Structure 1
């Protein structure tokens, strides 16, 4: 019987599949670290209090990239190039979601609208990241090789999501509510399509590596498309709601380290 746990167990047990999975994850986290670092450096004067939190977000993402690379190194594996069709971050940018890398490479201060765009984009993508890591934590928190990594990253992703909620609510109170909701909706609808396409591409690569039968590959693809249909029909709304989080000021302190994985 196919299940999330059995699927990921297959990937974890095979060196080539595990290497591809970790390479994709490490690349995405590293890109996120760079983006947040640049945003922290370019925060406008009116939002300077936000800069340390954005920097903390970026430091966490960099840490996650190091963790995935360390998991490969522990098994004697080297990263592999990330297939473009599996590059979630790049594909989101190509769909006009978030702040373009070209904008972040210029040494020009961002606007408050840019900060709203960044936080709305992060609120949507961190929802996805938090859900994915909770699923992995549910099944692999006690795994002797992956457990610590999964628990640490999951905790951080929950913090990132809480931070986005809190800061967007603050900006909504400052008069940006309609803009926030408009950007959130556009981000969510684009993200679910990109996530579908990336998931199909990743499963296609994994299927070839693991030698899945055509019926098994077709069943997994159908499941991915069914999830997209659910999200397109209304599941996307969970990505745009805002509520004050239980974790307040979740990124208010220094980033935690991951020396045990370095």
Structure 2
């Protein structure tokens, strides 16, 4: 019988599949770190109070990238190039989710609407990140090799999600409510498609590395399609709701160090 724990354990136990898993994760986190760093540098004057939180967000993402690379080094492995069809971040950008890299590479200040869009996009993607890390934490929090990394990254992702909720509610109260809801809906519907496609691509590669049978690969693919069907029918609503988080000012302080990994 297939289970999330068994599936991830199989991936983690094999050097080639673990190498691909960590390489994909490290690349996405490093990209997120760069994006947040550029956004922090280009924040408009009307939102300068957010700068230190965006810097903290980017520092956390950079830290996560270092952690995944450190996990590779611990097993004597080097990162591999990330296949284009597994690059979640870039595929989201291609669908208009996240601020365009062309805009972030320029030296022109962002608009307040850009910040609204950034936070709305982040609220959707951080929901996914938080859920994925909670799943790993559920099964591997006490794992001798990856448990500490899983716990640390999961806590950070929960903080990022809380930050997005709090700041979007602030901006909604300032008159951006309709724009926020529109962007959240568009982002969620685009994200669930990208997540489905990336999941299928990753599982296809993992299956080839691990020698899965056609039947097993077909079952996993059917499961991914079933998740997408659920999300398309209504599951996406969890990505667009806003509520004041229990963790207030979650990114108000400096990023925590990870000397045991970096």
2:50 counterpart residue number: 50
1:135 counterpart residue number: 135
The answer to whether residue 212 in structure 2 is matched with residue 234 in structure 1 is no
Tell me how far 1:98 sits from its aligned partner. Answer: 1.4
The answer to whether residue 95 in structure 2 is matched with residue 95 in structure 1 is yes
- C-alpha separation between the residues in 1 aligned to 2:68 and 2:96? 27
Cα deviations by residue, 1:90-126 (Å, 9 ceiling, x for unpaired): 0000011110000000001000000000000000000
- C-alpha separation between the residues in 2 aligned to 1:105 and 1:258? 29
The answer to whether residue 120 in structure 2 is matched with residue 114 in structure 1 is no
Helix, strand or coil for the counterpart of 2:104?
A: helix
Tell me how far 1:203 sits from its aligned partner. Answer: 0.1
Helix, strand or coil for the counterpart of 2:260?
A: coil
2:192 counterpart residue number: 192
- C-alpha separation between the residues in 2 aligned to 1:110 and 1:96? 16
1:19 counterpart residue number: 19
Aligned residues: 262
Q: How does 1:1-262 map to 2 (within 5 A)?
A: 1-262=1-262
- C-alpha separation between the residues in 1 aligned to 2:9 and 2:84? 25
- C-alpha separation between the residues in 2 aligned to 1:147 and 1:197? 28
- C-alpha separation between the residues in 2 aligned to 1:215 and 1:224? 14
Helix, strand or coil for the counterpart of 1:245?
A: coil
Tell me how far 1:257 sits from its aligned partner. Answer: 0.6
- C-alpha separation between the residues in 1 aligned to 2:254 and 2:261? 18
Helix, strand or coil for the counterpart of 1:194?
A: helix
- C-alpha separation between the residues in 2 aligned to 1:177 and 1:92? 23
Under a length normalisation based on structure 2, what TM-score does the superposition of the two structures give? 1.00
**CA-based RMSD:** 0.3
- 5+ long unaligned stretches in structure 1: none
- 5+ long unaligned stretches in structure 2: none
- C-alpha separation between the residues in 1 aligned to 2:82 and 2:257? 26
Under a length normalisation based on structure 1, what TM-score does the superposition of the two structures give? 1.00
- C-alpha separation between the residues in 1 aligned to 2:237 and 2:195? 15
Cα deviations by residue, 1:129-164 (Å, 9 ceiling, x for unpaired): 000000000000000100100000000000000000
